[in-house]
């Protein structure tokens, strides 16, 4: 069984920063792409950023230049550094990972989510 556990959410003022972490644990062969998504109240879950196992990144236009995704493969952890936060960044943030349990089988796992609230 694979678990993804997020941490680092909270309340921050506009213009502030937060760093989210998501650690994978359990029995698996490797973790391929990892990513962060967010879901604001009453809205659909949207992509924030993704990162491949080799470090190639992709960002939603709304966060480019403000958020940075990174990963530490030795710790099976993905991070999201969020700077210049805006009220519209308020959402529950979820991490996911494409995890290979064997050479021929991969499955996407999701974390439980962490609340980020940007408000004065």
What does the alpha-carbon distance between residue 18 and residue 70 come to, in Å, rounded to a whole number? Answer: 14
Cα–Cα distance, 120 to 116 (Å, whole number):
13
The mean pLDDT value of the chain amounts to 96
Phi, psi (degrees; rounded to nearest 5) at 73: -65, -25
Is residue 101 scored above 90 in pLDDT? no
Residue 96: the pLDDT is 96
Between the alpha carbon of residue 6 and those of residues 18, 22, 51, 61, 111, the distances in Å are: 13, 4, 16, 23, 6
**pLDDT score at 104:** 86
Mean pLDDT to the nearest integer, 98-116: 93
Give dist(CA 70, CA 94) in Å, integer.
15
Per-residue pLDDT tens over the stretch 26-78:
989 889 999 999 999 999 999 999 999 999 999 999 999 999 999 999 999 99
């Amino acid at each position: 069984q694979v678990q993804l556990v997020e941490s680092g959410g909270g309340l921050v003022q506009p213009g502030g920063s937060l760093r989210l972490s998501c650690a994978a644990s359990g029995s698996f062969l490797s973790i391929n792409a990892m990513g962060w998504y967010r879901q604001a109240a009453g809205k659909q879950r949207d992509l924030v950023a993704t990162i491949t196992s080799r470090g190639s990144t992709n960002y939603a236009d709304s966060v480019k230049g403000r958020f940075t995704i990174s990963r530490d493969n030795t710790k099976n952890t993905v991070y999201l550094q969020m700077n210049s936060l805006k009220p519209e960044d308020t959402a529950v943030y979820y991490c996911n990972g494409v995890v290979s349990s064997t050479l021929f089988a991969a499955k996407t796992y999701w974390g439980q989510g962490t609340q980020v609230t940007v408000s004065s």
